[in-house]
Amino acid sequence: MADRYLSFTGTAPGRFLTRRLGLPQPAELRRDALDGGLLHLTAGKSDLDLAPVLARTGLPADVNGRPAAVVLDATGVRDVAALADVHAALHPVAGSVAASGRVVVLGAPLAADDHHQAAAQQALEGFTRSLGKEIGRGRTVNLVRLTEAAPAESTLRFLLSPASAYVSGQVIEVGTTGGEQEPDDGDLPLAGRTALVTGAARGIGAAVAETLAGQGAQVVVLDVPQAEDAARRAAERLGGTALALDITAADAGERIAEALPGGLDVLVHNAGITRDRRLVNMPAERWSSVLDVNLAGVLRTTDALLAAGAVNRGGRIVATASIAGLAGNAGQTNYGASKAGIVGLVRSLAPRALDEHGVTVNAVAPGFIETKMTAAVPLLIREAGRRMNSLAQGGLPVDVARTTAWLAHPASGAVNGQVVRVCGQSLLGA
């Protein structure tokens, strides 16, 4: 469903009226290309050599004073005094960043033996989240914590690209290497890889499957038998294959492994259902069905595929959480519990899966995404969902899909155990 308010605020009368009434003024997000160059700043003393990495983002160095993106290297900030360098660096330029531009702050891990450094580095989190809420005009602000001297190239490329249009206010930790490798074809980074997406016949799952196929993956479209026709049509359109299977079946993992003798390189757990009702009015069936599809099926299938060695080394597992699992939502105790469970799965399994199987495990947590399901939400609730984030609008399925593709990228092996919200920096739980 079209966001008519967003369209209205893009007109001269709309800008005038919303400004006079103090209403949100969302800017239409640029999802095709960023307009301008890149400005590289430093706060504190840093040993990072960012120049080669930033050169490969495709953004030229900013020369006109209106950058499309700003990268602030704050890894050397070790005390409160050095935080003044953060202000000094960004204060003059924050207002000049182009509409739909990017601000990325690079931080360091919190030192266990230096509480001054830990305080200063933690301060960067409050700084970036606050700047994200005030910077406006469709611009995003994110913090990347680097736990190695070498910067995380795939993460910077993502955050400095149009693909991250609806990702803001996030803190992403980039750890030790996990078998990442630059693909042979930069335009088709998933060429030669097999990706399975559950719940892929429609909605966000279909967008994920299309995005992965567009990056070269051989996609397996998995959905329940009732959606087999839609799954087959989607698979044919993408040059992939369809697999009709209920993810809650006890032998779902074994059947997936049998269907893919060459194994998987990317496993996207997207299938999910809602059965909303307040707890006092929720029968046991509504509770158990949501927990079984959204969480128990994910756990069983993942365990079975890892045990069978069906997820190839260097593989990626990406699960779908939700801000409902992070912040809670009235009438969704079952859904919120299931999606919070996904977060627990990721945080516990990620280090072990990397050590034992060479596989990373991450999650995306969508906020208000424009789908047929949200189009059916009552008007006032739908409008509140759209406006209650720093970008003052809903996201699109492609925003979730592109974030998933970044986590599935061969060069994203140092990103592990992360839950990345695709919510425009929702005010819920932020």
As a whole number of angstroms, the distance between CA 76 and CA 104 comes to: 15
- Partners of 197 in beta bridges: 221, 268
DSSP assignment of 300-334 equals HHHHHHHHTT-EEEEEEEEEE--HHHHH--TT-HH
Give yes or no for a contact between 425 and 132, defined as CB atoms under 8 angstroms apart: yes
Residue 335 is among the residues annotated as catalytic for this protein: yes
Annotated active-site residue in 335, 340, 363, 382: 335
Kindly state the DSSP code that residue 123 receives in the 8-state scheme: H
Count Cβ atoms below 10 Å from residue 285 Cβ, excluding itself.
9
As a whole number of angstroms, the distance between CA 344 and CA 338 comes to: 10
As a whole number of angstroms, the distance between CA 5 and CA 399 comes to: 20
Kindly state the DSSP code that residue 132 receives in the 8-state scheme: H
Rounded to the nearest 5°, which phi and psi values hold at 105? -105, 130
As a whole number of angstroms, the distance between CA 400 and CA 164 comes to: 9
As a whole number of angstroms, the distance between CA 211 and CA 334 comes to: 30
As a whole number of angstroms, the distance between CA 63 and CA 396 comes to: 32
Q: Which residues are catalytic?
A: 335
